Each structure stands twice: as C-alpha cells, then as structure tokens.
Structure 1
Amino acid sequence: MVRAVREQGLTHAEAAARYGVTRQWVHTLVRRYDADGPDGLTPRSRAPKTRPGTTSNAVRGRILALRVQLVADGADAGPATIAWHLEQEGYRAPSTATIRRVLHAAGLVTPAPRKRPRSSYIRFQAELPNECWQADITHWHLASGTRVEILDFLDDHSRLLLDIRAAPAFTGPMVVTAMTELISRYGPPMSTLTDNGLVFTTRLARHKGARGGFEKLLAGHGITQKNGRPGHPQTQGKIERFHQTLKRWLGARPLPATIEDLQELLTEFQDWYNTQRPHRSTSRRTPEQAYTALPKATPTGPSRSEWRSRADRVDKDGKVTIRYAGKLRHLGIGRAHAGTPVLLLIHDRDITVSDSNTGEIIAEHTIDPSRDYQPRKHDRRQR
C-alpha cells in the first residue's frame, strides 16, 4: 500500500479502495513509513497506554496482608470483609470479584467444590431489632481438657450478640437469670427461637409436668416462644453459623486455663463481634450499627397464666412434690395427712391442696422460687 502511493502515484483514497481498507489506515502507514522506514510498518500493540481500572500494587499487597492477618486472628477473611477493612483504612476498595481473583492468584483460597451454595437455603430474617432473639448452648475446652458450656443470645435482625457467658454446665435457673438480665437491659423481645433443650422448654420432656422456668418467664412477659423442629438445626441457622465464627476466633488463641479466663475471652469477642466486624446480611454494617438503626419490636401477646391440676398422695413425711420452673419443690402438708390422696390446683405460683375424698382444703402454698421446701401459708405466718 505504501509503494502504491509513493512509487505508483496513487492517492490515499485510491490505495484504500484498491486494498479494501480505510483511507485513514493508508494515511497512518504512509506516515509511519516516512518517519521510521520499513521498521515503522511492523505490527504494534493495541493495548491502552493507561489502565485506570487496574488494581494498584499497593492495594494488592494490602489485600494479601489483610487476608493473612484476619485468618491469623480467627476472623472472617472473605472478599466482602477485606473490602470493608480497605474502606475503613481509606483505600478505594475494588470489587469483591477482583479481591477474589487476587486471592486466587496468590494461592490463598482453598477450593470447596462440595460446599452447599447459599442460594439453596430458604432464609428468613426479622424485620426489626428485638423481633426475635435466638439462644443456644455450645461448648469449648479449657487447657486441662475440661469441657465447659457457653450460653449465647443473638438478635435475629441485627445479629447483635446480646449476651455470652461460660459455665461448667447450664441449668434452667441459670438460663432464666441470663434472660431476665437481658430483658432489663434491652427490653422484652417479641419472640424467642431455641432448640428443644430442657433448659428452654419441657414440651418434649419424657415426663410431662409444669412449664420450665424459661417458659414461665416468657409467658409472664407475653413473649412468643418458638422452638425448632427436632433434628433440624437449620431452623436456628443464624446462631449455628455464629458458633462457627466464635470457635474460629477462640481457636486462634491459646486455650484458657479457667472459666474466668474463658469469660474474659468471650467478653473481648463480644466487643469485637458487635463493633468491629461487618456482617454481610446487614449491608456490611456492624451488628451494633444495625441494632441501633431501627425502633425495637415489643411483645404482642398478653401475659399467659398457668392453670393445671395434679392428683397425688401425701408421703410418710407429710409432703407432696411438684415441679416448678424446672426444679422439684416439696410442699409441706403435715404428717397428720400422711397417705391421704390429694388434688393440687395450681395457678402460677399459688397452689391449693384439697383432700380428694372429702374436698376439704388442707393446705395452701405460694411458691418461693428461691427455696426447695415450701411451708404452708399459715406456717409462714406463725414464723
């Protein structure tokens, strides 16, 4: 084409028509030939001179450093979390897809081809804070190998860790104490969601009896109690997933020597989880930010009284036994009534005991939850 112009005298337009190219391309070739000779006609790179969208080496280096640091701390280290940390440090964070490619290129991602995709789960989430609290008990080990339990409460909407505490083993009254403290601190929730452990519910107990202490507390505040289907932990999926985060964080630290040391770790974790860790489900806000952003839900149901009856027989020591708030209580009737068949009419804490044969009322009690033995009302007045 250049020779056709320079040696044959064709115009740029005529050469373009002959060779089926644009006139501008002929002009470009002639200009290159005039400037550099035959070398000017060799193919040149079409890559752009600048790449404004390219991730800088500084950002790439920080992405890799954050990944290593977060993994060592036992924290979430996915692309979304890394992007959040970059923004907090003043960087212009690339997309999560770019961060994922950087991690893959550095060999810092372990493929998990059998992992169930998130899209396959049916998810639900409370619309407001305090609309639903999830509670559960998991376990950890001390340095001596002793197994201890951890009780935690999580707000379903914001994922705020309301409370977390450790004990050798949790009983019903201990769970009631924790829930009472939370109601005083945050107000009563609209509902709770737990598994079917006896510290939460007696609905699947082998021997049916009174409500447990946790159930009584919820009923007294008009709080709706929800329990997951037995053998289906996905119902409590949020708190089960939370336990993975908790144990990964604890696993990055030495085992505590005592329960007190473990409690210090849990308190530190609670502060980090609530105020320093962004959550994907809350638009990368911290749980504390999500919890304080909206008004709080409150119970919608009326307080529910417990009414029930029970037939029994006074034992040789003049007592009958009932279960109240998850514990056995011994009601003093009197040795004079030993062997007498009785009917117990129970209304919350008030119990009336009558002779089944005659219908005569022989004792009245008001349960004192702080003690096991319950004297008759007139015996209390005498004392």
Structure 2
Amino acid sequence: MSHVNATLTPRTRLRLARLIVDQGWTCAAAAKMFMVAAKTARKWAERYRAEGIAGMADRSSRPHRSPTKTLPGVVRRIVRLRWRHRLGPVQIAGRLGVAASTVHAVLVRCRINRLSRIDRVTGEPLRRYEHDHPGSLIHVDVTKFGNIPDGGGWRYLGKQQGDKNKAATALRTGRTAKGHPNIGTAFVHTVIDDHSRTAYAEIHTDEKAATATGVLQRAVAWFADHGVTVERVLSDNGSCYRSFAWRDTCTALGITHKRTRPYRPQTNGKIERFHRTLADGWAYARFYDSTNQRNTALPGWLHFYNHHRAHSAIGGRPPVSRLTNVPGHHS
C-alpha cells in the first residue's frame, strides 16, 4: 500500500505510463503534468512496457541482501538466554558481547521483547488463538470458593473474628470435620464463549458429573436465547468431564467435546483468566456477611460483566457487543 504522502498511487502511475507508452508523450511532459521528476516518469514507463498493469503495484523496499544482519547462531543464543533465564537486552548483550540495541531488535523480531508474551512455566512464546464466531467453542471449568460464615469471614474481619464466626456457623449447621469447623465450599461452574468472552455461571455444592451436565444443558439453552449455537466445548481432564454422562450429554446436544492436554491449564487460559476476574470482581470485591448474600450478588455481577464491563481482549468493549443477535441490543 502506498504511504499517505505518496504522489503517485498505482492508478495514477498507470495513467502516467500510458501517456508515455500508448500516446507518445515525452517523459518530461508527462512528468510535468503529474508534478514528478522525469526520472520517475521514465521508471514507471519502462516498468509498464515490461510488466503491464501488474508492474504498477507497490513493491517491498526490503533489500535483497543484508550483509550486516545478525547471524542465525547469535539469534539462537539470544533467544535461548531470553527463554531460559528471562534476561533483559543489557544482560544478554553483556554475556554475548553484542550491542544491547542488537539484542533488543532480535527480541522484537522474535516477538519475545516483552516477558508478558512468554509462558512463565515453559519459557516458550505465548500462542494466542480466538475462534472466529460466537459458539464455535465454549470453555467450561469449575472454580471453588470457601463459604462465608454468618457475620463475615476473615478477609474483612481479621482471622480471630473470622474464626469465631466460622465456629459459630459450623455449630449451628452441625458441620465439623475431625473436630474442626467446616462450613463447606461453593463450586462455581463457569462457561465462557471463546470469541465473545460472554460468560455463564452457576453455584453448586459439588462438581459431580450430574451437576456438570446439568450446567452444560442450561448454558447451551442460555446461549441459544442470545442467538448463539454452541458447536464445541473445551474442558480440562476433571472426572466429571471424563464421565459417560458428559459424553452422552455432548452427543445429545450435538456438541464436539475436546479436552486440554494434561498439566497444561494454559490451553484453557480464557476461563482461567475469567476465574481471576470473577474472584476480584465478585467473590472478594466487598464485604459479605453470609454465603447467601454473596450468592445473591452473582447474577447482577454477571450482567455487569457481560453487558457493561470493558474487556481489554476485545478492544475495550463489553462481551455482549460481539453477539450479533441479542434481543434489543441494536434498538
């Protein structure tokens, strides 16, 4: 593509060349008409004679040879030090005896100039993906939050008062484990659309197969109400997702089930990141004096997340903006 200040575009070059080649204008006269140098007019005329209309297109300005380009062996050593030791350009330059600017240029070219683009566990560059339309893939998972004792928990009241409230709640509900108060765990079953990041969640007391399949059925129906047809589902290797009930439910719904590679939660990274947002925005966002109060706040927060919260991964827009058939959304 021609730059914004270019005098000649491909179409204008063609007009210039045709005046010279087809109509017999001199290069000087044609150049004067188009306010360019005669040398430029001659160049486009010669290219038109040799290649025709195709010769008017832009060409890369990249040189055929780069004799001062960093050697491949040095590039490999720079990348190896970046991956294995997370070193910066100055440290790598000191070890290899090259300029820091050269190291930085190599890191930029390899797209590992920012450590946020490198997987913390493997040191490999992050490979991000996104399906091209809503419903092409949904992610499912379960995250756990400890129940809140009556009167509030330790995060806001401190450990001493929190333990007292926990003991009183366990005594009231009759739940103890080996003499210790146990007020239970909330299992939040979450579903998120890969393309739009639209989320669905339910709170349950377990993560068994019957519960997980019920959540999937209701989530698919919820997405259908928003104009989204679910085609695939991605889960980890939890027992509920390896069950026959889960397999049969996916078959009945016409959904292809995929599982992540063992010990690679990064594959399901979108929903793992959503869990962190869920914790910060809902579970630990404010003081709750009971589990029921926190549970009651979840639907309202999900509406805010889907309809109003700006999402950095989709251009600062709310997830619902990527759904094309939401009732009333375009009114």
- Into which bin does the TM-score normalised by the smaller protein fall? 0.3 to 0.5
TM-score (norm 2): 0.48
Higher share in strand:
1
TM-score (norm 1): 0.42
